[in-house]
Amino acid sequence: MTPDTLAMVVEFRARPGRGDDLRAALLALVEPTRAEEGCLRYDLHDDPEDPARFAFYEVWASAKHHRAHDATPHVATIVAALPELTAAGRPERVTRWRPIEPG
């Protein structure tokens, strides 16, 4: 990792009754995103205590690479679907992190 590396946690909560649909839509992002330049890690998780909650743990070589990711067709597809699939109509929470130790 370098000082430019960007890690993110992006959390989602499904609308009632839409958990399976949100899971499928988020899973559809994994393969094309992992193939993107600058994607170092892109892992989808679910909450073992709440089946309506999901989170991506993402690591990008730089913020520039993440901005390119946000401009892809697969991200446009999920952004358009989130109002129907999520309680908030968007990700519930997005946090950004940077490494503080050499790697």
For the chain, domains (ranges, CATH) are: 6-97 (3.30.70.100)
Q: Is the pLDDT of residue 102 over 70?
A: no
Burial of residue 56 (CB within 10 Å: 0-12, 13-18, 19+) is: buried
Across-strand partners of 13? 53
Nearest to 55 by CA among 23, 28, 85, 82: 23
Nearest to 27 by CA among 61, 59, 54: 54
Between strands 39-47 and 93-97, the pairing is unpaired
What does the pLDDT look like over 58-80, one tens digit per residue?
999 999 999 999 999 999 999 99
What does the pLDDT look like over 17-53, one tens digit per residue?
999 999 999 999 999 999 999 999 999 999 999 999 9
